[in-house]
Amino acid sequence: MNVFPLSPVDYIFTGVGSQPISFAFYYNKVLDPDSLEKSLKETLNYFPILRSQLVKISKTDYEFHISEEGLTFDVLQSNTAFEESSSIEKYIMPVSPTEGKPLTKITLTQTPKGSVLSVSVAHALADGFSYFHFFSSWARICRGESIIKPNLQRDVLLSNFNRGEKTITSNDIYTNCGLFHGGKRRKIQNETAHVERFFISKDTIRSILEDKKNKPEISLTENDIITALLWQKYIPMWSKENKNQKTYVTCPCDIRRVLRGLPRNYFGCALSFATASIHLNGLLEASVRDLAILVRNSVKKVKNDYILSSLETLETLRKQKGLDAMEEIHLRHPHHGIIITNLTRLPIQYLDFGSGAPTDFLSYVDVLGSAAILPAEKGVEIFVAHPPEGH
């Protein structure tokens, strides 16, 4: 198959500010480029969609077309060693999910003290689960091992939605999708993103989870607690206008285990969005546990009917207003919100191409006002991308 349709959620991640998934992994041993390239070619037999370019076929539709120009693989040399403080652009320029551009870029940089393997994939092609399904499969094939084959069928996400005559509003986008519809998303390439990196211990998280004083009947997860902590810490720093204004926290949710008929090994962008809100004065006064309950309740709403309603709303908006309307969809409230992605299952140990797993990594941030929760020994590591002053 040389042509793939986009699902309604894929379109969110096209055009300006579309948040490609980009990581650079550092290996303290030298990776062999010939071995990588040979195993990559074999891996792409199972993941052909990664060799795609966007082709516009109407005012409201793109298609993924398999192309030799859809994926690039480059080998570079650097005279400087990998540093945790480096910008990821030193090792790879993230893909631009626009018409005619490659949607996957891979770069191997040989340094004096090892190799940096960087992969950037358009978010329209893959979510975090699919990104690492491909990456770990590539590593397994390089080691001569078998893989779990991906499922590329998009039928469940391409249902024949009953698009009504009602014009989709910004309130519909928020209520049905947990997203925000407003002005066009901004490019950040010419802005200096202030990225903060810090640690939260398991003991801190556990002490809140085990606090029985408030609503012990509510079952919370560690991720609920961390999300609540970040919401309460950063939104007051970023929103200083009015204590009566609403604030928002958005959590992307993997729907493979929720949407009926969607295979667990589906390769693509299988996301829906849970968004919780509270006025700023309430955010300042609430306990972390109470905020975590708001987060948990919003995530619990992401069930089969909500997901289908979300897909139908996005599809209808695009058919009514065209592709440009997709660049007006925001994952977080542009002024009073934060989006928090849980990457604690980051399978670094499986990215072993025969000489050991990576020892460090860098990630790319395309959404300012966002945070990522990453695994760390005895806790989690947090990456926060602060919005520019005044935004």
* Domain containing residue 34: CATH number: 3.30.559.10
Distance from C-alpha of 331 to C-alpha of 328, rounded to nearest angstrom: 10
Distance from C-alpha of 389 to C-alpha of 238, rounded to nearest angstrom: 8
Q: Which domain holds residue 333?
A: 1-391
Distance from C-alpha of 329 to C-alpha of 315, rounded to nearest angstrom: 13
> Out of 12-16, 306-310, 344-348, which region has the weakest mean confidence (pLDDT)?
344-348
Sign of the torsion angle spanned by Cα atoms 3, 7, 13, 14: positive
To the nearest 10°, report the CA torsion of 146, 68, 17, 183: -130
pLDDT of residue 54: 96
CB 51 within 8 A of CB 104: yes
pLDDT of residue 164: 61
CA angle, corner 23, sides to 2 and 178, nearest 5? 75
Domain count, the chain: 1
CB 281 within 8 A of CB 213: no
Distance from C-alpha of 357 to C-alpha of 347, rounded to nearest angstrom: 10
Phi-psi region of 193 (alpha: psi -120 to 50; beta: other; left: phi over 0): beta
CB 387 within 8 A of CB 238: yes
Which residue from 190, 184, 194 is spatially nearest to 16, judged by alpha carbons?
A: 184
% of the chain surpassing 70 pLDDT: 94
DSSP 151: B
Give the three-state DSSP class for 17.
coil
Each residue's pLDDT tens digit, 18-55: 889 999 999 999 999 999 999 999 999 999 999 999 99
Distance from C-alpha of 387 to C-alpha of 370, rounded to nearest angstrom: 8
Q: Is the pLDDT of residue 110 over 70?
A: yes
Q: Is the pLDDT of residue 242 over 80?
A: no
CB 383 within 8 A of CB 369: no
Q: Is the pLDDT of residue 391 over 70?
A: no
Phi-psi region of 338 (alpha: psi -120 to 50; beta: other; left: phi over 0): beta
pTM of the model: 0.93
| Residue 144: Cβ-neighbour burial (10 angstroms; 0-12, 13-18, 19+) | exposed
Sign of the torsion angle spanned by Cα atoms 94, 336, 203, 214: negative
E strand or H helix at 4, and its extent?
strand 3-5
Each residue's pLDDT tens digit, 136-174: 999 999 999 999 999 999 888 987 666 667 899 999 999
- b/e sequence 98-137, b meaning 16+ C-beta within 10 Å: beeebbbbbbbbebeebbbbbbbbbbbbbbbbbbbbbbbb
Q: Is the pLDDT of residue 232 over 70?
A: yes
Each residue's pLDDT tens digit, 302-340: 999 999 999 999 999 999 999 999 999 999 998 899 999
Q: Is the pLDDT of residue 190 over 50?
A: no
When the pLDDT of each residue in the chain is averaged and rounded to a whole number, the result is 91
Confidence of residue 349 (pLDDT cuts 50, 70, 90): very high
CB-side neighbour CA atoms (13 Å) of 141:
22
Q: Is the pLDDT of residue 117 over 50?
A: yes
Locate 367 and state its tokens: 């959404």
pLDDT of residue 152: 95
Q: Is the pLDDT of residue 189 over 60?
A: no
Mean pLDDT computed over 364-375: 85
Segments in 10-156 forming alpha helices (H): 33-43, 128-142
